[in-house]
Amino acid sequence: MKKRNGKRKIIVLIIFALLLGFLLFPRKYGYLDGGTTGYRGFMFLYSVENRYEYYTEDNKTFLKTGTVISIFGVELYNNTIVDYDHPIGNKHSSEAESLNQVIESVL
């Protein structure tokens, strides 16, 4: 009788370990914002994002970099900074800029 109870404990521990491994195994996500990569567990138990994105403010583009860690949707760590000292040049052509000005004047 004791031998059977021991096998049952082992089976329960194996199932628990497999379930825990499935829930915590990270999946990698790539974002189309300049190079941000993210890692998330099953059902958003946790997420880690290495941010590297372009941030636009007052027609100037800056680079936002850093790391964000959250568990159960609650942000625990965020060291994301925007590099205001080194703006990235405007990537639009002069024709696109003139069209943007026309559109803004209409709106």
77-102 pLDDT, tens digit per residue, is 999 998 888 777 656 667 777 888 88
Q: Letter for the amino acid at 97?
A: E
Question: CA-based angle 66:29:40, to the nearest 5?
Answer: 80
pLDDT in tens, 11-43: 999 999 999 888 888 899 988 877 899 999 887
pTM (predicted TM-score): 0.63
7 in a domain, yes or no?
no
Q: Which of 40, 43, 10 is nearest to 28 (CA)?
A: 40
Per the structure, the complete domain to which residue 90 belongs is given by: 26-106
Q: Are 47 and 70 in contact (CB under 8 A)?
A: yes
Q: What is the total count of domains within the chain?
A: 1
Instruction: Tell me if 50 sits within 8 A of 67, measured CB to CB.
Output: yes
Q: What is the model's pLDDT at position 3?
A: 62
Q: Is 20 domain-assigned?
A: no
> Domain for residue 47, yes or no?
yes
